[in-house]
Amino acid sequence: MKRILLALLLLACALAARAQLTIDITTSGGRQIPVAILPFAGEASQPQAVSTVVSADLGRTGLFRLVNTVGVSPLPTEPSEVNFVDWQSRSAEALVIGKIEPQADGRVEVRFRLFDVAKQAQLASFSYVVAPAQLRATAHRIADVIYEKLTGEKGVFSTKITYVVKKGTRFELQVSDADGANAQTVLASNEPIISPAWSPDASRIAYVSFDQKKPVVVVQNLAQGTTRVVANFRGNNSAPAWSPDGSTLAVTLTRDDIAQLYLIGANGGEPRRLTTTPAIDTEPSFSPDGKSIAFTSDRGGSPQVYRMSVEGGPAQRLTFEGTYNVRPRYSPDGKTIAFVQRDAGRYRIAVLELSTGQVTVLTDGTLDDSPSFAPNGKIILYETSVGGRGQLAAVSSDGRVRQRLVSSAGDVRDPAWGPLPTQ
Amino acid sequence: MKKVLISLALASLLAACGSQEVKKDVPVADRTTGTQQPAPTGTTSTTTPTQQPGIAGNPLKDPANILSKRSVYFDFDSNAVKDEFRPVVQAHSKYMVDKKDSNIRIEGNCDERGSREYNLALGQRRAEAVKKTMTVLGVAESRIETVSFGEEKPANAGHDEAAWAQNRRADIKYAGE
């Protein structure tokens, strides 16, 4: 653990001003897979030590125990050089070795191998030829392969997150790697920015801008930096949620006085009203199959989570415990919904299992908000409050592992986890 | 108290051409009459305005006038306009009925607890509650726009009940302000 933190610290120093967030594991539980990740031969002369990033990625999931690799010399780079008996005695179940070799064209070749120590068998072997500047991204890809081989689930180390940073009176929408590195400001304003949401292909982010002194829904193309106002009707325009095919946004409009749900094209156009109630209907979230929308409504007297067909029609109430259950978000497999629950004045992240109705509270903050699932469904990123300041935190969807993303800059809020990169 | 405030408000309206007391360190931006405001005269009681014919102030900016009060505060989880704020709403309604070219925007706000988007909707409901009171008092609906800032624009940046109480509010803003 100390090593991970030290590595993260060094990493943070190396990345200087670019790294906005560092990650600290606050709790972990359950069985951890012991894995030995050896330094990659030749990485010391590169701008980024690949094995350090791989170790940090795997370590902060809480699912792995990093086996001490100090003093291994010479570093094995081929299967024939691996002393499996030695690694068994160090109780490693998995072993990662690799090497980095400069190419004539200035790029580098990164090779890595993953072994099952007990079976003395190779589980994976990959080679990438990349620019030295891509070594960090390559390390995330390697971590994704290892994670998937050892857990059976997709890794999310190559994904991005977005969040809003408030610095004094200034608001910045930032995008960073999932580990908080490479933070970039994609929008800055002296007015609030809330509710960022990734398009399913990760090319655009929808958000709510207050630049026009009222909430307006904007879609920004990340590569081009262009923005398009998608909903700017009378009253408030907010809570954008993408349909899984990226063609449509569900939004909340007050053009007909009270907050109601509407569907609108991702490029704008005439909205189609989805709910018709005398109550607040807001915070839509599409089911992964695109057929249902979960949302918050206080039609029953207190705000609760409901679900309805995207075609309209009646809504079904999903939450019944307590008087405040809001901000639903479907898990990527559609089987659970994360939401914010108020209990005795404390606001916490909970998950609802749709097949059983079972609710599990995952966090222990007082002002937790904005849950967002990682694309593999295993982690929920959310906003918490530490000493009156907004900070990001993450919890595994089974509640066992918690992380805090420690920011050096301002109030950090409203996170959204981006989709898996397209291959 | 209510009556005093209302009659004060009415007095101010009737004395629209009269002068206003201007408190020290309160900036006065209104220049509608083309006449300079009188120099501050100290801390004269605001309930006894001195008559200075020919010098007009803007009742909306005059700290002695109830119309300078723009905020209606709400209880937790509530959008009911409390009795203690009815005089403010009534004064602005009267002003708008008389001043036919005035338009306002009512901005609803919430404290920081709970989800941002639900708070945005709640703030809207607070703004609508004030609007409804004003339309009942004779202001045309078309002259009032309502928006919400949710929990995004706290008046008090603190994190306790005293701060939250100041943040659960609806603010009245006149067009052109």
pLDDT at A30 over 90: no
Cβ contact, residue pair B120, A194, below 8 Å: yes
Chain A interface test: which of B120, B142, B143, B144 (most A C-beta within 10 Å): B120
Single-letter residue type at B165: A
Percent of chain A past pLDDT 90, that is, above it, reads 83
Q: Which run of H or of E encompasses A350?
A: strand A346-353
- Give the ipTM of the model, two decimals please: 0.90
Residues of B in contact with A342 (CB under 8 A): 114
Q: Which of residues 83-112 of B touch A (CB under 8 A)?
A: 112
Chain A residue with Cα closest to B126: A258
Residues of B in contact with A194 (CB under 8 A): 116-117, 120, 150, 152
pLDDT at residue number B67: 95
Cis peptide before A74 (omega within 30 of 0): yes
The model's pLDDT over A271-322, given as tens digits with 9 standing for 90+, comes to: 999 999 999 999 999 999 999 999 999 999 999 999 999 999 999 999 999 9
Chain A residue with Cα closest to B112: A367
Cβ contact, residue pair A235, B121, below 8 Å: no
How many beta carbons lie within 10 A of that of residue B100, not counting itself? 8
Side-by-side strand order, sheet with B104-109:
B71-73, B169-174, B104-109, B144-150
Cβ contact, residue pair A254, B117, below 8 Å: no
Q: Which of A26-35, A80-89, A117-126, B32-41 has the lowest mean pLDDT?
A: B32-41
- B112, B121, B149: residue with CB nearest A280: B121
The model's pLDDT over B54-84, given as tens digits with 9 standing for 90+, comes to: 336 889 999 999 999 999 999 998 999 999 9
Determine the Cα–Cα distance for residues B98 and B107; give it in Å rounded to an integer: 22
The model's pLDDT over A159-218, given as tens digits with 9 standing for 90+, comes to: 999 999 999 899 999 999 999 999 999 999 999 999 999 999 999 999 999 999 999 999
Can you say whether residue A334 is alpha, beta or left, with left for phi > 0 and alpha for psi between -120 and 50 degrees?
Answer: left
Give the pLDDT mean for A344-356: 97
By CB neighbour count within 10 A (0-12 exposed, 13-18 middle, 19+ buried), where does A228 fall?
A: middle
The model's pLDDT over A230-279, given as tens digits with 9 standing for 90+, comes to: 999 999 999 999 999 999 999 999 998 899 999 999 999 999 999 999 99
Determine the Cα–Cα distance for residues A46 and B20; give it in Å rounded to an integer: 74
pLDDT at residue number A257: 82
A340-351 exposure pattern, b = at least 16 Cβ within 10 A, e = fewer: bbbeeeebbbbb
The model's pLDDT over A50-67, given as tens digits with 9 standing for 90+, comes to: 999 999 999 988 889 999
Looking at CA atoms only, how far is residue A178 from chain B in angstroms? 23
In angstroms, the Cα distances linking B56 to A389, B46, B98, B104 are 46, 16, 17, 22
**Confidence grade of residue A73 (pLDDT, cut at 50, 70, 90):** confident
**3-state DSSP call for residue A402?**
strand
Q: Which residues contact A224 (CB under 8 A, 6 or more apart)?
A: none
Looking at CA atoms only, how far is residue B153 from chain A in angstroms? 8
**Confidence grade of residue A395 (pLDDT, cut at 50, 70, 90):** very high
Half-sphere exposure of B122 (CA within 13 A, CB side): 29
Looking at CA atoms only, how far is residue B110 from chain A in angstroms? 14
Cβ contact, residue pair B114, A257, below 8 Å: no
For chain B of 177 residues, list the mean pLDDT of each consecutive stretch of 10.
41 36 37 37 40 62 94 94 97 97 96 96 96 97 95 94 97 93
pLDDT at A124 over 50: yes
**Confidence grade of residue A22 (pLDDT, cut at 50, 70, 90):** low
Cβ–Cβ < 8 Å for A287, A330: yes
Chain B residue with Cα closest to A168: B157
Residues of B in contact with A215 (CB under 8 A): 120, 147-150
- A192, A283, A327: residue with CB nearest B152: A192
Determine the Cα–Cα distance for residues B114 and B110; give it in Å rounded to an integer: 9
Q: How far is CA B129 from the centre of its chain?
A: 15
pLDDT at residue number A14: 39
From first CA to last CA, the distance across chain B in angstroms is 29
pLDDT at A229 over 90: yes
pLDDT at residue number A28: 58
Task: Report the predicted TM-score, pTM, of the whole model to 2 decimal places.
Answer: 0.85
